[in-house]
Amino acid sequence: MVRLGFIIGLIALIGVSLSGLAAYRVYDQELTVDRIALARAIDVHASLVQERLTERELLARVASGLFRTPAVMKANMLQPLRSSIYAFKTDFVVAGWIARLKPDELPAAQAELAGNGFPNSTIRNFDDAPLDTKSLGGPIDVLMDLEPRNAETMGLAGRSFDGHPILGPMFEQAMASGKPVASDPLPLLRPDGPIGLVLATPVLQEGDSALAGFVTFSYELAPLMLTNDDLSLFSVVLKDPRSAGTELVANDQGVVTSRAAVESGPAPSITRAVMFGGRDWSLGYYAKSNSTKRAEQTSAIVAAFGLALTGIVCGLFGYVAYNNLRLSREIEVRIGFERRLTAVIDELNHRVKNILAVIQSIVTRTLRHGSDIDISRELLIGRIHAMSNVVSLLSESQWQGVKLKGLFEARAIPNSERIAVSGPDIAVSARAAQSLSLLFFELASHSDEGLSLVGKHPHIVAHWDVTGEAPDEIFHFRWEEFNTSTATRREDSDFGLILLDRVAPEALGGVSKRYFTDVSYVYELTAPMATVVDMTERDRTEQLSAPVKAAR
């Protein structure tokens, strides 16, 4: 009996010790997993909010870039932009044209508003009060056109917002910086309207540095914050920039209200900053569940279960140990997967933002500097097709590089049937492929102008080779157009010159030159093979695409 009691006591002691250890282990693991899941969900939410804000700021920049201002006081200035702003399918409340008018232009502006059917054409203050035009000492900002035009918005036309406590300083800041600026939160449309933000982008007089006015877009705050439903792990608030101790929170119906942050209450689990309109906005995330309490409950259940199994034979202890090991491995795989997923999403966001930045630069420079709208439209479509072609090739190769000859496909390069391509079929990196694709398009798109009118076409030779020994190999590229001259070849655009002389050589870490010979036009590019191939970028992509393995 003594021996049996000793054995039972020893088994009980071992069982209690193992149960306590298992409970602590589960507590630590559950707490870690909950925190990782919460942080991951918050990061995804903050990333989505930033993408939505970036899209809206891009809309404002595109609208201002496409704006033409032959007469700033027209009441239908948004007409040419209507298809563009609605093509973005954004959730703006009102888009407006704010003209900067001199005092002597106000009567003409009032007549313009009346002629376009606005119910109140009188130039007045932002609060609909009469404006003393005799006391004006300089230009004022007047709402001359808006979208959409309905019964609620039509009455806003003709108001001057210089004296507005929020919009007035915002216009001054946008005018000083020359960039889009977002306002503080304010009621939209009416004093009791939905809380939102106004984004203003300055528009310059065409061919002059003088300010013509502002293109504005107003958005409700709740959709911008991407407020969550009851199933989310957290609730999100926006720190009110007008008051350090105030938070803006939206309910299930999307109604935004202001509340005071309780100093003695729980602090936000995580705070994230987003950029919009040249300002930093702080988002606070409050966890809806207490991960510590839930981990304690889970560990208590595990401990109780372990104590209940203390009297069972040692085989059950082995079974419990096996399940605990399996749980540990699953959690390690999950943590590894979350880390890998975070890295992949960050890499994807980086590449998408780079592509969007390139396309934004292409659109802005093509349309702003194009002297002829038909030529600008042709170049814009061609450049975007070139970018689309190289992205498709990179997607097919899982961003492992692109064969250089593949960049001369007919769907992306004009006049490709007249280009004699020769050289080793090397695989260039993703970054080099994007630069070279735009480079080839620019060269090809300007190669056929004057001679084509008389039935002649230049003969083009594109050749490249690699010289030297590794790791100091040098990449040489030569583009030569025969049967052309300065009189027949289309003049390079501003964007094309920047791409040929600066962007492409700097992207590849090399140098370039272009010149005319007696019988041809020549463009040469020389760069190190280390930057053209970029094995570091390829190795990083291979690591991101490798499968996650469980720890052994």
- Residue with more model confidence, 84 or 481: 481
Confidence of residue 364 (pLDDT cuts 50, 70, 90): low
- Give the per-residue pLDDT at 335: 76
Question: Which residues neighbour 134 within 8 Å (Cβ) at sequence distance 6 or greater?
Answer: none
Residue 452 has pLDDT above 50, yes or no: no
* Cα(194)–Cα(190) distance, integer angstroms: 8
List, for residues 295-330, the tens digit of each pLDDT value.
677 777 877 777 777 766 555 544 454 565 577 777
Which structure tokens are listed for 196?
């939102």
Question: Which residues neighbour 205 within 8 Å (Cβ) at sequence distance 6 or greater?
Answer: 69, 72, 211, 212
Residues 432 and 507 sit within 8 Å (Cβ to Cβ):
yes
Residue 138 has, within 13 A of its CA and on its CB side, a CA count of 1
CB atoms within 10 A of CB 150: 9
Average pLDDT, the chain: 78
List, for residues 140-186, the tens digit of each pLDDT value.
999 999 988 888 889 899 999 988 999 999 999 999 888 999 999 99
What is the C-alpha radius of gyration for the chain, rounded to an integer number of angstroms?
32
Residues 196 and 219 sit within 8 Å (Cβ to Cβ):
yes
User: Starting at the edge strand that comes first in sequence, how are the strands of the sheet with 511-516 ordered?
Assistant: 419-422, 459-467, 474-482, 520-528, 511-516
List, for residues 523-547, the tens digit of each pLDDT value.
999 999 888 887 666 555 555 555 5
- Give the per-residue pLDDT at 355: 63
- Give the per-residue pLDDT at 451: 43
Backbone angles phi, psi at 293, to 5 degrees: -65, -40
CB atoms within 10 A of CB 406: 19
Residue 414 has pLDDT above 90, yes or no: no
Angle subtended at Cα 271 by Cα 266 and Cα 277, rounded to the nearest 5 degrees: 135
148-152, 214-218, 253-257, 394-398: the lowest-pLDDT one: 394-398
- Residue with more model confidence, 488 or 367: 488
* Cα(355)–Cα(394) distance, integer angstroms: 12
Q: What is the mean pLDDT of residues 35-54?
A: 87
Domains and CATH numbers, the chain: 1-308 (3.30.450.350), 346-538 (3.30.565.10)
Residue 271 has pLDDT above 80, yes or no: yes
Backbone angles phi, psi at 233, to 5 degrees: -80, -10
> Strands 459-467 and 419-422: what pairing?
parallel
List, for residues 330-360, the tens digit of each pLDDT value.
777 777 767 766 655 665 555 566 666 666 6
pTM: 0.50
Percent of the chain topping pLDDT 90 = 13
- Give the per-residue pLDDT at 200: 94
